[in-house]
Amino acid sequence: MNLVKRKKLKYGSLAIGLTVAVVAFIIILNAVFSALSNHFFWYFDMTSGQIYQLSDNTTKYLDQISGEENDITIYFLTDKDNLNMPVSSSNSISESTLWGMKPIHELALQLDDKYDFISVDYIDLTSEPDKIKSIVGEDAYVTTSFATSYILIVNNTYERNSDGSIINGADGNPIKLTNYKICARSSFYLYDYSTGYVNAFRGDYYFAATLMSLTKVNKPNVYFLSGHGESVGDAGDDTVSSYGNAVALYYLFEEAGCNVRKINLQYDDFDANEENAIVVVYGPKRDITSSSTTTGTNETDKLAAFLEGKGNSMLFFFDSRAVQLTNFEALVKAYCGVTISDSVAKDSGESSVSHDGYSIVGKYQTDSSSIAHKVTDRLASAGMANKVIFTDALPITVSDNSKTDAVMLLPKSAYSEEFGDSAALMTMTSVDNGGKIFVCGSTDFANNIILESDVYSNKNLLFSVLYEMNVGEVPMNIEMKIVRSEGLDRTEQEARAWTLAVSVAMPLVVAIIGTVVYVRRKHS
C-alpha cells in the first residue's frame, strides 16, 4: 500500500471516528440536557402569551404563605403522560378531551419546584378510587363528581385559634385539618360566553387565589340575600349554577377565601355571634319587609341587627330595572346618607364606551383625604391601568360627606342639573362596628361578562373593596394570558432571527471547522 493510500485510509478512519464521536457526544449531551431541563425547568416559553411561564406577581402573593404551617398537594386525576395536550383558541370549554392540561400541569410543576410545601401527585380514577376517598372522605357527591380534567388541591394543616395558634385535642396532640378544593379545568381559562371558545389562560391567577384561599385561617362568611327576585335564585338551591348572572360574583368571593351561601330572611336568621361577615344584596326586584309590613318577618330589623355585629359589612347592587324599593333605600339612607336616583346615568362624551351612552367609565377618586381614596389608590399602586365600567347605572347622591364618599364618580360629561358635582356610581361608608357598606348603582357592574373580562378592572376594584372589609389579601394584579394558537407564536422579526441562526449560523460553523480540517490535512 503506497503512502497516498495509507494517508487516505488514516484520515478517512479519523474522519469516521470523529463523526461517530461527535454524534455520540451530541446524543449524550441532549439526553443530559433534557433530563436537567425537565428537573430545573430550563425552558424558553415561545408562546405569545407566555402561558407556560410562572409570573412574578404570582410568586409575590404565594411567597406570603407560610411553608411551616401548610402542606399542599396538587393532584392530577390521570396519568402524567396524559397531560401533554396544549391549548388553542379553537378549543371549546365543552370538549371532553384533555386539551389545555399541559399549561396547568407545567405551572403546577414550577410551583412544586419553587416551594418546598407544594408537591404534585397523580391519581388514576379507575384504578385508585379509594385514594380519593381517603383524602376527601366518603361524601358521595364529591367522590363521584371527579373527572380526569379536574384538579384536586389539598392542604393539610392544623385547627387554629383566631390568633393563629394551633389547637390541641383531648389527647394533647394538634387537631389535623384537611382542606381541599375541586378545580375544574374551565376555572383555569376565560372563554366567550356566547361561543364557548377559549380566550385566555388564567392559571397563574387561579392557582394563586386557590392556594391563598386554602391556607387562609379565618374565612369570612358571605351571605347572598334571596327571596326578593334577586338573580341568585332561591335559597333552597345552593348549587353554583343557581347563582345565574351572579355566578362570577360568587366565584369572586370564593377565590377571596370566603364561605359563600344564600339566605332568605323570611325563614333564616344570621348567627347572633357573626363577625366580619358580609351580606350581598344583588339586584332585588321586590322590597324587604319592615315594621310597617302587615305580614311576614321584619327583614329590615334583621339586616340592621346584622350590621351591629363586629366587623360585619354589606354590598348593595341596585338594578335599574327594579320597581321602587322603599325599605331597601331607606336602610341605605339611614346608614350611609345616600339617595339612589330614579333615572339611569347617560354620557354622550368621551367617557362613554357604548353608542347609546349608557355604559360609562367611572372616574377615579382623587381626593387623598377621602376615606374611600385607598380603594382606587390600591389599583393605581398595583399598576392596573384598565378602566372600571358601569352599565345602566343609577347615580347616587351623597348627603352626608362626613361618613360616606364616592369610590367611583360620574365623569363630568355625564353630569346634569339633577346630580350636580356630588353624583357617584359607587359609595363607601364606614360603620361604627368596624365594617363597611358599599352601594353600587348597577348590577351589570358585577355580572358574569364584566367580571370575567380582562379588559376592565371591575373585579380588581371589588377585591380592593373586600380588602377594606377585612377579607384579607387577594391576588388582584395577575394578568390573564391571551390564547391564540397551539403552535409557537413569535413576531416576524423573531422568526427571522431564528431562521437566520438555523440556516446560516450553524452551517457557517460547520464550514469553518471543515476548512480548518482541510488546511491541516493539506499541510500535514
Bridge partners, 66 (sequence order): none
pTM over 0.75: yes
The DSSP line for 213-238 is HHT-SS--EEEEE-SSS-TT--TT--
Q: With beta carbons less than 8 A apart as the criterion, state whether 388 and 457 touch.
A: yes
pLDDT tens string 1-54:
565 555 555 555 665 666 666 667 767 766 665 555 544 444 444 444 557 788
Domain for residue 287, yes or no?
Answer: yes
Tell me, what's the pLDDT at 105? 96
Q: Are 301 and 438 within one domain?
A: yes
Domain for residue 9, yes or no?
Answer: yes
> What angle do helix axes 458-468 and 373-381 make, rounded to 10 degrees?
120
**Cα–Cα dist 435/432, whole Å:** 7
Domain for residue 485, yes or no?
Answer: no
Determine the structural domain holding residue 494 and report its residue range.
490-524
182 CB contacts (<8 Å, ≥6 apart)? 142, 145, 146, 150, 151, 152
**Cα–Cα dist 216/382, whole Å:** 22
Residue 151 has pLDDT above 80, yes or no: yes
Q: What is the CATH number of the domain that holds 351?
A: 3.40.50.880
Read off the pLDDT of each residue in 275-302 and give the average, rounded to a whole number: 88
Tell me, what's the pLDDT at 349? 81
Q: Are 260 and 209 within one domain?
A: no
Amino acid letter for position 92:
S
**Cα–Cα dist 474/213, whole Å:** 9
Q: Are 443 and 332 within one domain?
A: yes
pLDDT-derived band of residue 502, with 50, 70 and 90 as boundaries? low
**Cα–Cα dist 394/76, whole Å:** 46
Strand duo 423-430 + 436-440: pairing = antiparallel
Distances in Å between the Cα of 244 and the Cα atoms of 186, 190, 261, 448 are: 17, 17, 14, 9
pLDDT tens string 335-370:
999 999 988 998 888 888 888 889 999 888 778 888
Q: Are 24 and 80 within one domain?
A: no
**Cα–Cα dist 315/301, whole Å:** 17
Q: Are 22 and 74 within one domain?
A: no
**Cα–Cα dist 159/178, whole Å:** 9
Q: With beta carbons less than 8 A apart as the criterion, state whether 150 and 76 touch.
A: no
Q: Are 386 and 438 within one domain?
A: yes
C-alpha cell at position 524? 500535514
Residue 329 has pLDDT above 50, yes or no: yes
pLDDT-derived band of residue 140, with 50, 70 and 90 as boundaries? very low
Domain count, the chain: 4
Q: With beta carbons less than 8 A apart as the criterion, state whether 100 and 188 touch.
A: yes
Domain for residue 405, yes or no?
Answer: yes
Domain for residue 484, yes or no?
Answer: no
Q: Are 244 and 294 within one domain?
A: yes
Q: Are 189 and 241 within one domain?
A: no
**Cα–Cα dist 374/381, whole Å:** 10
Q: Are 85 and 208 within one domain?
A: yes
338 CB contacts (<8 Å, ≥6 apart)? 332, 396, 397, 398, 399, 400, 404, 424, 427, 429, 439
Range of lowest pLDDT (20-34, 90-104, 363-377, 442-456): 20-34
Q: Are 408 and 497 within one domain?
A: no
Read off the pLDDT of each residue in 374-379 and give the average, rounded to a whole number: 82
Amino acid letter for position 137:
G
Residue 376 has pLDDT above 50, yes or no: yes
pLDDT, averaged across the chain:
82
Domain for residue 280, yes or no?
Answer: yes
Q: Is 79 helix (H, G, I), strand (E, B) or coil?
A: coil
Read off the pLDDT of each residue in 190-194 and give the average, rounded to a whole number: 80
Residue from 135, 133, 144, 77 nearest 104 by CA: 77
Tell me, what's the pLDDT at 82? 92
- 22-36, 210-224, 393-407: which is most confident: 210-224
What is the 3 state secondary structure string of 459-521? HHHHHHHHHHCCCCCCCCCCCCEECCCCCCCCCHHHHHHHHHHHHHHHHHHHHHHHHHHHHHH
Task: Name the strand (E) or helix (H) holding 178.
Answer: strand 176-183
Q: With beta carbons less than 8 A apart as the criterion, state whether 203 and 104 touch.
A: yes
